[in-house]
Amino acid sequence: MASILRGNDLRQLGFPEGRAIGLALAQLQRKEFKRLTQAEQLETLKAVLANPADYLTHLAWSHISAALLPPVSRHIELVARKEYVTFGAEHIEAGAIHQMETAMKLPVTVAGALMPDAHYGYGLPIGGVLATDNAVIPYAVGVDIGCRMALSVFELPGKYLTQRTQEMRKVLLDNTRFGSGRSWERGQRLHHDVLDRPEFQAIPFLKNKLDKAAEQVGTSGSGNHFVEFGLVDITDPTNEMGLPLGQYVGVLSHSGSRGLGASIAEHYTKLAKGVCQLPAEAQYLAWLGLDTEAGQEYWAAMNLAGDYAAACHEHIHRRLAKALGEKPVAKVENHHNFAWKERLADGREVITHRKGATPAGAGVLGIIPGSMTAPGFIVRGRGEATSLASASHGAGRLLSRTRAKAELSEADVRRHLADHGIELIGGGLDEAPMAYKDIHTVMASQRELVDVIGSFTPKIVRMDGA
């Protein structure tokens, strides 16, 4: 075992006084470094000290390398606010608007828009759309990278759900898993090609994430994630789904990239904050340039997390279709909490972040859910330039989770669900229907952004919780 290196040993190497020494000493206490000889430890420290920028995306040394970089080059001031368009401004809380105003002052910001379901988040508000110049902002993407809506439509009559409520309840219980850290039991796990992706080995930070990703594929998180049976009503005869007008049974799911996406968001946000120090009110809007190694790494990791989220939905819908003994006659999917390389109407190439906002390019289909007791809508995007070809991703919160728990009662929520004929498995007061805005008001605020081609009305809902 190596003899213990001390602060003076690092000072003799040339480490500056301050945070970097403490971080390095703490890192050397990890078991993988304790096995190295002192000479090997010193060689590693010399390499980090000589070229700290090369280690900014390294799993073990990222924070030490960030502390070694010259601080003067990392301070960035905000600039004059760029103009942006808000949809449904009268229904959006002041905190979300303030966050959007701050985001529009970033020197890398090119354009922005605020959706009618917007509410306060971290960094960019949920419901915020931000276009930047060659820069990606991890917290403008969001923690649950690639969070997705997925709808499968089955050629079954609407009465199927009312006649088999308890059977459908069991189907959901047997074929879904919910909750933070929750995994499928070993014998019930399914493989997916996304788990064979080279990024898990090529990106240092992801090397120890594969096992947990394999355990959690096909599961859902907590919070507002759900899987539900409901009624699909197709109202537009020209719908791109190829379905005749009428009512069908549908499965709608909402969840994201699980622990994989959350860990990517946390890691790369810390890296961004280390190399891009902004004023306090904008600190969660720190960015990574796409012409940097760290920016390229995050971009690859973000896309992997988005594909992983899609794989989770694929497994959920495959299990449920098998349990029903049916094949879907149509599917619609869309995701948010993501960044895309796009071009504005004037031809400029930008990175468009949609944090809790639905892509709504011309002819693009998507799903905008309401709440447990309110319908969601199948929509066709209109490609509106002022919204950066985006729409809301749901109804949006009316009450924060804290307020909902404080102001709502279990009895009132149960009564409200019963009045609407909703069978709920799990869920909590923070996800009560009354905690959300009126979806019809939200949709009225974005008529120029999407056309409605159908609706989805929940009937049997599964969420995290007992």
List C-alpha distances in Å: 14 to 42, 46, 444.
11, 9, 63
- The whole-angstrom separation of Cα 417 and Cα 411 is 10
- The whole-angstrom separation of Cα 166 and Cα 170 is 6
Strands 246-255 and 390-392: unpaired
What is the CA 367 to chain-centroid distance, rounded? 16
Instruction: Give the residue from 269, 288, 113, 300 showing the smallest Cα distance to 204.
Output: 300
Q: Which of 119, 336, 353, 393 is catalytic?
A: 393
Instruction: Give the residue from 417, 449, 380 showing the smallest Cα distance to 234.
Output: 380
- The whole-angstrom separation of Cα 6 and Cα 25 is 7
Q: Which two tokens stand for residue 312?
A: 């989770």
Q: Which two tokens stand for residue 388?
A: 């950066």
Residue 393 annotated to the active site: yes
List C-alpha distances in Å: 366 to 82, 225, 331, 380, 390.
29, 17, 10, 6, 11
Partners of residue 250 on adjacent β-strands: 153, 230
For 346, other C-beta atoms within 10 Å of its C-beta total: 8
Please give the positions annotated as active site: 393
